[in-house]
Structure 1
Amino acid sequence: MASKSTIPIITTLFFFFFFKFTFSQPNLEPDTQDCNNRWIHIRRLPPRFNLDLLTNCSEYPLYDDFCPYLPNHGLGQKTHNRSHSWYRTDPLMLELIFHRRILEYPCLTSDPTAADAVFLPYYAAIDALRYLYGPDVNSSSEHGLELYQFLQNDAPEVWNRNAGHDHFLVMARPAWDLSQPLYKDPPIWGTSFLELPEFYNVTALTFESRAWPWQEQAIPHPTSFHPPNLRLFKSWLRRVRRSRRTALMLFAGGGGVSSSPNIRRSIRSECENSTSIDISSTGYTRVCDIVDCSNGICEHDPVRYMRPMLQSSFCLQPPGDTPTRRSTFDGILAGCIPVFFEDQSAKAQYGWHLPEEQYEEFSVFIPKEDVVFKGLRIVDVLMGIPRDEVRRMREKVLELMPRIMYRKHGSSLGLRTQKDAFDIAVEGSLQRIKSRLQEVSVQ
């Protein structure tokens, strides 16, 4: 058996030969596809910008070893041996997942001049680890400069044709982690990639965007559910629809134990004191369940939270260190109606995947200030929603489910008829780039 130290090298060699083989293949029947305004060129980058970064998967002492999450092209290990759809996926691996999926995109072109968009397969969040936790922690303003120098020196005409406006990449972290002010002394948390003027024109797909920069767009956090075919997806959908919802609401997460007023503390307090509430006429047996996910114990173990989510009507999604949560998408997969406490948690973020005008159809909004400072009880709001309305909202959640999951690479043709999070992210990038190029051309 290979030692732990050799596993990253073996994995990297596998990825290298796989990607090299795939890049050498022609497009999959592009003549049968409607590729008008959809052509994408994948920029060839030296492996130091992607595959070589995987060899450092265990070298960040302040960060978890991410070697176990490399298998299955970044989906991670299966949750159990007989699983076909569920994996221990780490959110950081979205850059690998996206890279693998875009190799299957039907409208790839080797000619950058014929492309409507150029994809940069740069593992930005993985490379950021050396600035966040590694030896370059005091050089965070340099994150991205080496990539820019390469783009300028190697086939500069590809970049210069539209000054980078037609380029896009995935960054598997919140934008806040990548937007430290340039030359901040002493350095604070994060790198300065998104603050570099060199990359102002590039579309950056992140887990969470800031409110003002036009180039950032939030896309869903990857969950652990990656079905390979339509049969398995529909099987899960049937299970979700049949699930008996015995709890009114659920909070899966950590925090809420500090002495200062905040929404998580209010949620925990309300849940812990909910046993005296009479729900005999509601059809529920419990008012509130809590799944304690402190210290990251839930992150790679979906069984901990998916079963409780399947048994709950509403999933509470309070902000934490940042407004957005992976739990939002886990809950949607379980048919659990999301309850938001600020717009930045989802409505102002995921417009491509969860249309803003539809939020009232599938979610509940309760201002956190009303709960924390005005004494509004969450349970009163949720119990006041008519049962018929709850059923309609859940059906809408199920309708949105394909849009927030990342199906497995190499999936069946039947499942590909369901646009998933990757498909929508690519479509959104193409449309944004097209609009931006039109704006630039008239300036």
Structure 2
Amino acid sequence: MKTILSLIAALSLSSLLVFGPVNSQQPDIDPVECSGRWIHIRNLPTRFNLDLLTNCSDFPLFDDFCPYLANHGLGQKTHNQTRSWYRTDPFMLELIFHRRMLEYPCLTADPAVASAVFLPYYAGIDSLRYLYGSDVNSSFEHGLDLFQFLKHYDSPQIWGNHQGHDHFLVMARPAWDFSQSVSCDQPIWGTSFLELPEFYNITALILESRTWPWQEQAIPYPTSFHPPNTALFEAWMTRVRQSRRSTLMVFAGGGGSSSSPNIRRSIRLECENSANSSEINDEYSKSCEFIDCSNGVCEHDPIRFMRPMLQSDFCLQPPGDTPTRRSTFDGIIAGCIPVFFEDQSAKTQYTWHLPEDKYNDFSVYIPKEDVVFKGVKILDVLLGIPRDKVRRMRESVLEIIPRVMYRKHGSSPGLKTMKDAFDIAVEGTLQRIKGRLQQVPLH
């Protein structure tokens, strides 16, 4: 218990996460600049956020996530000297986003003038008790307590004015984890939060969305890179740009060891065969590198995969249990050109952060069916790309890096002028809510 309390104290959330927004009349806030951008943070009881963190070691089937609460959800530093690299768990995005929302320049204490309302609810963390804990047979109840609070307590007119159309929250898990049917007689995997009619109108920022519900929008998985100032960001960009790419392609992940045909198995076999081959392209000292990340050994140790990614031209991003991967964003941070095998891995997901019309500029697409069933060799496809095009693609990847990173909270004014993943997510949310409110009458 002492360890848990010390970690929560390290967050300093008790003083910083004052869930009411800052005074909208602060002299450093420009009302003109904030026009159409005002956000109100709902004053939720701590049982919906901070109190959930005290259970960080209660789900042994999931993980003890206590170590990843440090630094407002960024996790512990990878080493003592660093100021930019952390052992970040992507499921802590709710904390990271909440902390950044407190720095948002256009917060208002008056919900009547707000363009959007943020719910600081740690939905993914709260879902653990339904996914791995004692409430596994009550997963259809996930979110009902929150809805009752929003509708009946603490100024219920805030919810009632637009029936939730102006509300948004972050859910740090794939949407499939919140999509169990409410009427499912025998509970299967997941909770029913996103299936509740009560929440059909909200905007859910999520790590991976489904293809049909309008209210879901995928935003990037957090990586381990969170620079606090422009100098450290530029230093990393220089390292990425100057890194010698001596490996053609790299795959960091698990799976693929079964005998059944699938894309990960094909990748592993091709990597093994290339290692045994005497034919190596003159441009590279190694054709393929496989980094075995089975059993989660890479999740909180970016050194395992970032160095190989820095040394590779292409990063293979096959789907796994779900279509998307955090590794997609790790690779982009390393300046490694992503290779996708299905559109749902990124193209139909991160439409705010990775513009769909520019995918050919920064990525390669090889249908997984061609690799698994038609004998297409990934090495042949990548070696067939002209070197000058590879260089242009890398420059396009470098341009994307700021858009997919989450800079550190409290970062320097200079770095704040550069839009990061958080900024783009908030901007997209405001635009989406504006469009919805134009279609919905005021109650």
1:35 equivalent in structure 2:
34
* CA distance, structure 1, for counterparts of residue 122 and residue 32 of structure 2: 29
SS state at 2:413 partner = coil
Matching of residues 91-102 of structure 1 within 5 Å? 91-102=90-101
> Which of 15, 19, 22 is the equivalent residue of 1:17?
15
Structure 1 residue 61: Cα displacement: 1.8
- Aligned equivalents of 2:425 and 2:166: distance in 1? 15
Amino acid at match of 1:389: K
Q: Give deviations 1:280-320, integer Å, cap 9, x for gaps.
A: 43x10110001100000000000000000000000000000
Give the secondary structure class of the aligned counterpart of 1:237.
Answer: helix
Deviations 1:91-144 (A, max 9, x none): 111000000001110111000010000000000000000000111000000000
- RMSD of aligned C-alpha atoms? 1.5
Within 5 Å, which residues of 2 pair with 1:8-87?
A: 10-11=9-10, 14-20=12-18, 23=21, 27=26, 29-31=28-30, 34-87=33-86
Kept in 2, the 8 Å contact 1:22–1:103? The answer is no
Give the equivalent residue in structure 1 for 2:385. 385
Aligned to 2:160: 160
* One-letter amino acid matched to 1:269: L
Native 8 Å contact 1:131 1:140 kept in 2: yes
Question: Does the 8 A contact of 1:33 with 1:106 survive in 2?
Answer: no
Name the residue aligned to 2:309: 309
User: 2-side partners of 1:64 and 1:33: how far apart?
Assistant: 46
Query: Aligned letter for 1:421?
Result: A
Q: What is the match of residue 118 of structure 2?
A: 119
Secondary structure in structure 1 of the residue aligned to 2:403: helix
What is the CA–CA distance in structure 2 between the aligned matches of 1:285 and 1:9, rounded to whole Å?
A: 47
Tell me how far apart the structure 2 counterparts of residues 103 and 295 of structure 1 sit (CA, whole Å): 35
Tell me the distance in 2 between the aligned counterparts of 1:192 and 1:258: 32
Q: How far has the Cα of 1:439 moved from its partner?
A: 2.2
Q: Given that residues 4 and 54 in structure 2 are in contact (C-alpha distance below 8 angstroms), is that contact kept between their aligned partners in structure 1?
A: no
Q: CA deviation at 1:441?
A: 4.1
Shift of 1:186: 1.0
Q: Deviations over 1:338-377 (max 9, x none)?
A: 0000000000000000000000000000000000000000
- 1:185 Cα deviation from its structure 2 partner: 1.9
Alignment partners' CA distance in 1, 2:144 and 2:7: 26
Q: Which moved more, 1:433-442 or 1:78-87?
A: 433-442
TM superposition shift of 1:22: 8.2
Cross-structure match for 2:430 = 430
Quick one: percent identity of the two aligned structures?
A: 71
What corresponds to 1:278 in structure 2?
Answer: 279
SS in 1 for 2:440: helix
Q: How does 1:274-353 map to 2 (within 5 A)?
A: 274-275=274-275, 276=277, 278-281=279-282, 283-353=283-353
- Unmatched runs of 5 consecutive residues or more in structure 1: none
Instruction: Please identify runs of 4+ aligned residues in structure 1 that moved more than 2 A.
Output: 2-12, 20-28, 277-281, 439-442
Q: CA deviation at 1:231?
A: 0.5
Alpha-carbon distance, 1:11 to partner: 4.9
Inter-partner Cα distance in structure 1 for 2:355 and 2:396: 12
Q: In the alignment, what sits opposite 2:232?
A: 232
Equivalent position amino acid for 1:197 in 2: P
**How far does residue 8 in structure 1 lie from its aligned partner after superposition?**
5.0
3-state secondary structure, aligned to 2:407: coil
Residue aligned with 2:14, SS: helix
- TM-score normalized with structure 1 length: 0.97
CA distance in 2, matches of 1:33, 1:46: 32
1:250-289 correspondence to structure 2 within 5 Å: 250-275=250-275, 276=277, 278-281=279-282, 283-289=283-289
1:131 is matched with which residue? 130
Q: Residue type of the partner of 2:78?
A: T
Correspondences of 1:357-376 after superposition (within 5 Å): 357-376=357-376
Contact preservation (8 Å) 1:28, 1:106: no
Q: Which amino acid aligns with 1:347?
A: K
Which amino acid in 1 is paired with 2:348?
A: A
**1:20 positional shift:** 2.5
- SS in structure 1 opposite 2:125? helix
Q: Distance in 2 between matches of 1:25 and 1:411?
A: 21
- Partner SS state of residue 274, structure 1: helix
2:259 and 2:355 map into 1 onto residues whose CA distance is 37
1:145-185 Cα offsets, whole Å, 9 max, x none, are: 00000001121100011110000000000000001111312
Which structure 2 residues correspond to residues 213-252 of structure 1 after superposition, within 5 A?
213-252=213-252
In structure 2, the partner of 1:143 is 142
Given that 2:19 and 2:44 are in contact with CA atoms closer than 8 Å, whether structure 1 keeps it comes out as: no
SS in 1 for 2:324: coil
SS of the residue aligned with 1:118? strand
The answer to whether the Cα contact below 8 Å between 2:347 and 2:359 also exists between their aligned partners in 1 is: yes
Alpha carbons 2:206, 2:218 under 8 Å: kept: yes
Q: Amino acid of the residue matched to residue 68 of structure 1?
A: P
- Map of 1:172 onto structure 2: 172
Distance 1:331 1:294 in 2: 18
Q: Is the 8 A contact 1:352 1:424 kept in 2?
A: yes
Distance 1:292 1:28, change over 3 A: farther
Measure the CA separation in 2 of the matches of 1:190 and 1:65: 20
**Matched residue count:** 439
- Residue aligning to 1:412: 412
CA deviation after TM superposition for structure 1 residue 10, in Å: 3.7
* Alpha-carbon distance in 1 for matches of 2:31, 2:112: 21
Distance 1:76 1:260 in 2: 37
Question: Aligned with 2:349: secondary structure?
Answer: coil
